[in-house]
Amino acid sequence: ICGLVFLIRKLPREEVADIGVRATAKTLADLLVSDLASDGTTLRKEIPQILDKLVDEGKLIKIDEEYSLQTRESSEWEREFRNRQTKLNNDLTALSSKRSSLLNAACSSALNGIKLLHGKCKAARKLSIHFGTEPPEVKGNEIPVWIRDGWGENESTVLADARAAGTDSPVIYVYVPKVSADDLKKAIIEYEAAKTTIEFKGTPTTPEGQEARDSMATRMGSAEVARNSIIQDVINAAKVIQGGGQERFDLTLKEKVNSAAEISLDRLFPDFQDADDDRWHSVINRAKGGSEAALQAVDWNDAPEKHPVCSAVLSEIGSGKKGKEIRNTFESTPYGWPRDAIDAALITLFTTGHIRATHKGVQLKQGQLDQAKISVSDFRAETVTIDARARIKLRKLFQCAGIPCKPNEESSAAGQFLVHLADLADRAGGAPPMPERPSIDHLDNLRALAGNEQLAEILNQYDSLSKQVKEWSALADLAAKRKPAWETLQLLLKHSKTLPESEDLNQQAKAVRDERRLLDDTDPVPAIHKEVVAALRTAVKKAHDYFKAVYDREMALLEENDNWKKITADQQMEILYTEDIADIPDLSIGDDSSLLRTLEETPLTNWKTKIDALPQQFSNAALAAAKLLEPETQTVKLTSGTLKTEDDIKSWMRDVEKDLLIKIKKGPIVIS
């Protein structure tokens, strides 16, 4: 055989000369047959076995389906392969690890395609593959599949564990038998030795080296095929046992585990039937729309909180839970409920007032809770519930206070109502002369509550709150009317300080302030207001009349002035405007605002100053007229000290005369 291989390998391989003969097992058998009738069948059976033996002995190498004699370089590859084969054969730990990895990967791959749809709602379920000697933990929403093999565990132990778990256990027990152990070991060793040899030797540069590498790759491929085939046979021979000890007898591992998983679903989720319905999305839509009978979509006509799903969710929430925690609880064993069922229960209970929800610190109103907010919202069970009749009563109270409230928005409106009532209390009283503000301690207590607890307490105080809305609204409205009049009175009194009536009027106002009588049934302000306005009008009119009399007198004197007569009317008007005496200001004191405006412009104390200034203003006007006629006119103001005797007078006159004689040389003089 080796001789034939040598001769065939010597045949030309060039494209023109190649006759296509190769040293394959079939070709060698055909060439060795001397008697077709008796030798053909026998040789074709024996030749492949002999060739494999020669390859194992290192005399031949195999490249794909063709054989070749060992060369010096292929011998080196063969020696490296043998060394690695021997080393791995002696390393039981590494060999065991590789075998376990291969078996585990094959099991995982076989089970990877299992798709489980649970119940009418077609809830998707998954398997949790577990390897090792420690039992898997039954939790979450995945079915545990515990896989052990005959290399590490006895079949009797696996069966005993399954029986001990009982018929309620959802765990699926898989035992992979220890069959074809030697063949599997040989295939693993050969594959790993060939693979690591190729990695170690790298890529050769000579034809002989490339041929040796190709031969090693062929050996690795053959070993891989053999290894995978054995593993597949071992996997298909695996036993699948249900908790309690019942074995599944389907054809493949996948089919066995799939049928076992269908049974384990009911064991893992014994409470699943309570929520197994494909109409939960309709419940969600109805509840978001404000319907308290949303569960009719799943044929439930009793109270929402009595539905098994709602009851369990309500109990779980207790004093407070996050939406994500609630979902995790009911999506896991023993419930396995679809998320739509859990969300529908939460939104329905929220709509019916059995729970309250807070999203990012803000309490949600009816209709605001949706599936997107559930996971990050905080839920709290209400300790009391408010029925439809009570909600109507609450809405009536809120609307009486001017707070609009739609059905199922009572909790939101309650906060606005309490704020509004506190504002009414603030406006119904205050600093003197307002009465003291009503106590709002009970409102603070109500605002400290939330949700249905707050609504229930508002109902308990319904009569008193309703009365306070009316009384405080009336006082607030009255205060809005009377406070401006009081403030006007204070301004008027400030301007009346110089009047004889001032003390009495201020005493009357002080009494109103001290006794907090501004909101009495009889308004105390108008009487005082009437007196002070009358006194101020009289005083202002009197001052204005006196001003007018002095103005008229001074104007008459000015009009008799020779210089004044000589200038034009326009020049006269310009001078009068300059001196601010062009006319007498109109007196407007017909109502409070005009009276106050007049007093602000000219307080009573300023009238005397204005009157005293008139003679000087008119004198200035006469001087201005003279200057217009005599441009060089000089103004001389006569001054003197205290004159006590005749000599003092004569001396002062001599000085004045001397001064005037000097100045007259410069131009006309006007004495002022």
Confidence of residue 291 (pLDDT cuts 50, 70, 90): confident
Cα separation, 252 vs 239, whole angstroms: 10
Question: In angstroms, rounded to a whole number, what is the distance separating the alpha carbons of residues 195 and 200?
Answer: 9
Are residue 126 and residue 176 in the same domain, yes or no? yes
The torsion angles phi and psi of 577, rounded to 5 degrees, stand at: -70, -35
Residue 513 lies in a domain: no
Residue 655 lies in a domain: yes
3-class secondary-structure state, position 634:
strand
pLDDT of residue 174 exceeding 70: yes
Q: Write down the mean pLDDT value for the chain.
A: 89
Asked if residue 19 is part of any domain, the answer here is yes
Based on the domain organization, do 438 and 559 belong to the same domain? no
What residues pair up with 356 in beta bridges, in sequence order? 380
pLDDT of 404 above 70: yes
Residues 157 and 262 in one domain: yes
User: In this structure, are residues 554 and 622 in contact, taking their beta carbons and an 8 Å threshold?
Assistant: no
Question: How many domains are there within the chain?
Answer: 6
Distance CA 378, CA 362 (A): 10
Q: Is 662 or 238 the better-scoring residue by pLDDT?
A: 238
Q: Is residue 370 part of a domain?
A: yes
Using the predicted structure, report yes or no on whether residue 610 has a pLDDT greater than 80.
Answer: yes
Q: Is a pLDDT exceeding 80 seen at residue 21?
A: no
pLDDT, residue 74, reads 76
CATH of the domain at 38: 1.10.10
Same domain? 132 vs 220:
yes
SS3 label, residue 237 = coil
What pTM did the predictor assign?
Answer: 0.58
Mean pLDDT of 399-421: 90
How far apart are the C-alpha atoms of 416 and 420, rounded to whole Å? 6
Query: Can you tell me the mean pLDDT for 121-129?
Result: 94
CB atoms within 10 A of CB 325: 15
Q: What is the pLDDT of residues 481-515, one digit of tens each?
A: 999 999 999 999 998 888 988 899 999 999 999 99
Task: Calculate mean pLDDT across residues 587-614.
Answer: 88
Q: Does residue 401 sit in the same domain as residue 545?
A: no
- Residue range 537-586, pLDDT digits in tens: 999 999 999 999 999 999 999 999 999 999 999 999 999 999 998 888 88
- Reported as a pLDDT band with limits 50, 70 and 90, residue 113 is confident
Residue 487 belongs to some domain of the structure: no
Residues 420 and 293 occupy one common structural domain: no
Question: Is residue 491 in some structural domain?
Answer: no
Q: What's the domain range around 361?
A: 269-382
Boundary of a domain, candidates 198, 231, 266: 266
- Are 566 and 617 contained in the same domain? yes
Q: 528 and 399: one domain?
A: no
Please report the pLDDT score of residue 632 as a whole number.
65
Same domain for 465 and 372: no
Residue that is last in its domain, among 348, 382, 416: 382
Same domain? For 21 and 100 the reply is no
Q: Does 323 reside within a domain?
A: yes
Question: Residue 28: what pLDDT?
Answer: 76
**Residue at a domain's end among 382, 403, 422:** 382
The structure tokens listed for 176 are: 């992979």
Q: Write the pLDDT tens digit of every residue in 303-355.
A: 999 999 999 999 999 889 999 999 999 999 999 999 999 999 999 999 888 89
